[in-house]
């Protein structure tokens, strides 16, 4: 008699993620999902890109997929951004079922928590907060897009791009991404705000909401907030200085559009991947700088990727401590 295969939480999560990618690829390959036939490779690539909230696309999603295909992409982005187990917990809670120890261990692994305590509550709060932020995002984008596109298309486009923004996915339904909104304050502020909040990490967001005072915040939250502000401001300034002379990117824009584009492109590379200018026309130093931002990435337990901003910060502080001849790295009086 063969023994049942026992998988560890990381192995089971990986298997569930693989299942999500395969199912997504199959759905995107269906005739009902596309305006024209696409290859299995493109379907699986897009499914993987959406589930990992990467945003890379070998084909234009807006002109390739039907509404059904775009909805499949939205679901993949949402599930991939917030986590498979987070949605699984929601289903279990709705059905009124009891969540066992194995499921709690999976949640602990998925949310990168040090202990089992409070993981279910955290998962529920993640879902509620995400839905609230996405509703706010839809409302703000709808203010700009409904008058231009009508109620149905305006709300639908607002929903798609809000989900892609908050989950740091970078997918857009226009061939040139968000380039037509390079100087639009509402689109720029809404999309970047969703990107930043989604990229901070849910533990940071909840720490700020619950503690509300700087001195009570954890060292991780303080580090994440400060480094996010510093890196975003620095990235905006550097991007403007490197590209303001380039006629293919910022050079042909008005000053206000240059500032909006610099701000947008300073924030989006670390986690999201949207663009309001032609990224292919960037000068090489700017492209290298954006690669560096992508490598650093977002925060822990966030919807973004990278090595994580706090990891980068600790490395920087450790190097500074080493150069000063100190044996320990101390940040805000904490070792």
Tokens of 313: 């910060």
**What whole-number distance in Å separates Cα of residue 145 and Cα of residue 187?**
9
Contacts of 117 (CB under 8 A, 6+ apart): none
Q: Which residues of the chain have pLDDT under 50?
A: none
**What whole-number distance in Å separates Cα of residue 251 and Cα of residue 232?**
21
Task: Write the pLDDT tens digit of every residue in 238-295.
Answer: 999 999 999 999 999 999 999 999 999 999 998 888 999 999 999 999 999 999 999 9
**What whole-number distance in Å separates Cα of residue 155 and Cα of residue 169?**
19
296: helix, strand or coil = helix
**What whole-number distance in Å separates Cα of residue 81 and Cα of residue 286?**
28
CB atoms within 10 A of CB 52: 17
Q: With b meaning 16 or more CB within 10 Å and e meaning fewer, what string describes 154-170?
A: bbbbbbbbbbbbbbbbb
- Give residue 330's pLDDT: 84
Enumerate helices (H) and strands (E) in the chain, giving the number of each.
Answer: 14, 0
Tokens of 17: 């993620």
Task: Write the pLDDT tens digit of every residue in 193-212.
Answer: 999 999 898 888 888 988 88
pTM here is 0.89
- Give residue 232's pLDDT: 95
- Give residue 99's pLDDT: 65
Domains of the chain: 1-123 (1.10.287), 176-335 (no CATH)
> Closest Cα to residue 100, out of 111, 116, 84?
116
């Amino acid at each position: 008699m063969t023994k049942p295969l026992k998988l560890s939480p990381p192995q089971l999560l990986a298997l569930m993620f693989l299942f999500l990618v395969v199912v997504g690829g199959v759905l995107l390959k269906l005739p009902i999902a596309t305006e024209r036939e696409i290859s299995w490779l493109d379907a699986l690539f897009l499914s993987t890109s959406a589930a990992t909230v990467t945003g890379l696309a070998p084909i234009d999603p807006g002109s390739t997929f039907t509404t059904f295909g775009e909805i499949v992409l939205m679901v993949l982005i949402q599930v991939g951004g917030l986590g498979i187990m987070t949605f699984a917990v929601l289903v279990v809670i709705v059905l009124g079922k009891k969540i066992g120890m194995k499921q709690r261990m999976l949640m602990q692994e998925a949310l990168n928590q040090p202990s089992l305590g409070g993981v279910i509550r955290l998962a529920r709060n993640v879902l509620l907060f995400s839905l609230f932020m996405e509703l706010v995002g839809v409302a703000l984008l709808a203010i700009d897009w409904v008058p231009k596109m009508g109620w149905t298309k305006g709300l639908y486009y607002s929903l798609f791009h809000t989900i892609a923004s908050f989950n740091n996915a970078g997918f857009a339904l226009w061939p040139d991404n968000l380039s037509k909104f390079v100087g639009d304050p509402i689109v720029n502020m809404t999309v970047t705000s969703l990107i930043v909040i989604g990229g901070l990490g849910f533990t940071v967001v909840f720490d700020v909401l619950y503690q509300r005072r700087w001195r009570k915040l954890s060292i991780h939250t303080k580090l994440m907030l400060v480094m996010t502000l510093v890196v975003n401001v620095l990235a905006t300034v550097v991007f403007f200085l490197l590209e303001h002379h380039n006629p293919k990117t910022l050079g042909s824009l008005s000053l206000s559009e240059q500032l909006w584009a610099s701000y947008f492109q300073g924030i989006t590379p670390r986690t999201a991947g949207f663009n309001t200018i032609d990224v292919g026309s960037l000068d090489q130093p700017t492209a290298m700088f954006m690669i560096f931002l992508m490598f650093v990435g977002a925060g822990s337990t966030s919807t973004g990727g990278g090595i994580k901003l706090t990891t980068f910060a600790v490395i920087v502080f450790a190097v500074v401590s080493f150069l000063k001849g100190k044996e320990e790295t101390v940040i805000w009086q904490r070792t």
